[in-house]
Chain A
Amino acid sequence: MSGKIIVITSGKGGVGKTTATACLGASLALLGKRVVVVDMDIGLRNLDVVMGLENRIVFNVVDAVKGKCKLAQAAIKDRRIDKLYLIPASQSDNKNALVPEDMVRFGEKLKQEFDYVLMDCPAGIERGFDNSVAAASEAVVICTPEVASVRDADRVIGLLYARSITPKLIVNRIVPHMVEKGDMLSHEDIVDVLSIDLIGLVEMDDQVVVSTNTGIPLVLQKDSRAGEAFKRIARRMDGNTDLPIQIPQTSGKFWKKIGTKFGLGR
């Protein structure tokens, strides 16, 4: 078995890399693939909390890479979703605990065991980024509709191209009514600037906060728009490229339009 290593990155912090990694990992596992998500944010461990697996950590990625434990010992199996595994980050080391060459070797090992290896890249473009990207053959760049995020994503895309990786884009945290009013960048504006393939648009969703706090995967929650969007993205990543990209829109647009015609509402 030889899987794919996909790094999930953004440059800027707080745009939803960890949430996206957890959701995409869970979605791919629900599609029947063997998936491992690796938290590369060494020193600032988060992914385990988002996935609700924080109390089961014994070994971490640094131990696994350095050969202090077996791969099977470091990979924590999710009990709710079959075939989903997490390799958590170390909280006590810092990013310099690993070097890119180690990661390439570790990546080869992971590829033997899993269909998909998702690397949750830390913010920034320093050692943590180098480590996460070293073994990856594909990349997903997360960007929010903010100028700062677009600029950082742009930088990261340049760095990924320099490593001959062609990244794909997810625009996260779209607020449809703000886009309609022109207060927020639209995904077209972002794609214009970044000019890479779009694989999904994710709407701003309050359920994300609930999910990360409770540790229940977003994709298992009903009527979570963001969860649904990530599920569709996972299907696109899994080769179902024809699946159309849904553009987030305000609900009840039709009645609102009629309302505004008659001078009701805003």
Chain B
Amino acid sequence: MNTASSDNPSVRLTGMADGLRVVLDPKQPIDFLQSELNRLFKPLGHLAINTRVLLDYGEAEEWEGAEEMTAALEGFLKESFGVGTVVRPPKKRREVEEILRHRDMDRSWQNHRSDVLMLTGRVRSGQKVTARKHLLILGDVNPGGEVVAGGDILVIGTLSGTAAAGQPDREDAIVLSLDFRPTQVQIGTIVAAGLPSSPTKQTEYAYVEDNTIVVEDYLEADPFGRLPWPEVR
């Protein structure tokens, strides 16, 4: 059986800013590790109580019994020394993943190929505009005009025709217009007809909540204003 040598012990204990860090060699049997922990924690006495302990298995990659061992050691430490929480170090990401993620948070839109169909002008009665994903119209949709999109529909103008967003089944889509007075709104499979139009021109948007279409003042609701950073939709 291996014994702890002074320059490379199987269990090491170091202090951290907000707790203790225990580096273990997971290849050792659990009894041995427990006795080593016992040896290291005993001198701490009451200092160990309610501290945060980080279990670090060093170089060892994730292996099958890791969770069991963590649970066993956690139980042991809590019972014997009354430590607070036992955590594992955050999972290390592969370098590629790290780079990707960093860029994502920074400028997720940079490598995004847009599927937005952006049109200017007026969709007249009898005309139908279909977009594979989002649809943006700088202009108006007249009564009798029809706009259909796989994603959101934004009309920078008056929407008085029918709008079908999130076709065929995306219910997180929205329909927004500066002057919102559509004859019919459809989001995913949910249809709302005969929406009462507000007497004044105001920027409103429609979304789905509990299988019904809700229309709200966009500026008051500000549904995307609380996102921490810009995201690709």
Most buried by A among B127, B142, B144: B142
Considering the chains assembled together, what is the distance between the CA atoms of A150 and B124 in angstroms?
A: 11
> Which B residues fall within an 8 A CB radius of A?
122, 124-127, 140, 142-145, 160
Q: Is the CB of A155 within 8 A of B122?
A: no
Q: Is the CB of A147 within 8 A of B143?
A: yes
List 18 additional A-B contacts (Cβ < 8 Å) besides A151-B125, A154-B142: A147-B143, A151-B143, A151-B144, A152-B125, A154-B125, A154-B126, A155-B125, A155-B126, A155-B144, A157-B124, A158-B124, A158-B125, A158-B126, A158-B127, A161-B124, A193-B140, A193-B142, A195-B140
- Give min CB distance, B84 to chain A, whole Å: 68
Specify which chain B residues have a CB less than 8 angstroms from the CB of A195 in the assembled complex. 122, 140
Which residue of chain A has the shortest Cβ distance to B123 in the bound complex?
A158
- Give min CB distance, A130 to chain B, whole Å: 15
- Give min CB distance, B142 to chain A, whole Å: 5
Number of interface residues of A (CB under 8 A): 13
Most buried by B among A147, A154, A159, A193: A154
Label chain B's interface by main secondary structure: loop
Specify which chain A residues have a CB less than 8 angstroms from the CB of B160 in the assembled complex. 193
Specify which chain A residues have a CB less than 8 angstroms from the CB of B126 in the assembled complex. 154-155, 158-159
Specify which chain B residues have a CB less than 8 angstroms from the CB of A193 in the assembled complex. 140, 142-143, 160
Specify which chain A residues have a CB less than 8 angstroms from the CB of B122 in the assembled complex. 195
Which residue of chain A has the shortest Cβ distance to B144 in the bound complex?
A151
- Give min CB distance, A71 to chain B, whole Å: 35
Which residue of chain A has the shortest Cβ distance to B122 in the bound complex?
A195
- Give min CB distance, B88 to chain A, whole Å: 64
Considering the chains assembled together, what is the distance between the CA atoms of A195 and B123 in angstroms?
A: 11
Considering the chains assembled together, what is the distance between the CA atoms of A222 and B3 in angstroms?
A: 122
Considering the chains assembled together, what is the distance between the CA atoms of A159 and B160 in angstroms?
A: 19
30 A-B pairs in the complex with CB atoms less than 8 angstroms apart = A147-B143, A150-B143, A151-B125, A151-B142, A151-B143, A151-B144, A152-B125, A154-B124, A154-B125, A154-B126, A154-B142, A154-B143, A154-B144, A155-B124, A155-B125, A155-B144, A157-B124, A158-B124, A158-B125, A158-B126, A158-B127, A159-B126, A161-B124, A193-B140, A193-B142, A193-B143, A193-B160, A194-B142, A195-B122, A195-B140
Considering the chains assembled together, what is the distance between the CA atoms of A157 and B140 in angstroms?
A: 15
- Give min CB distance, A66 to chain B, whole Å: 32
- Give min CB distance, B40 to chain A, whole Å: 81
Specify which chain B residues have a CB less than 8 angstroms from the CB of A147 in the assembled complex. 143
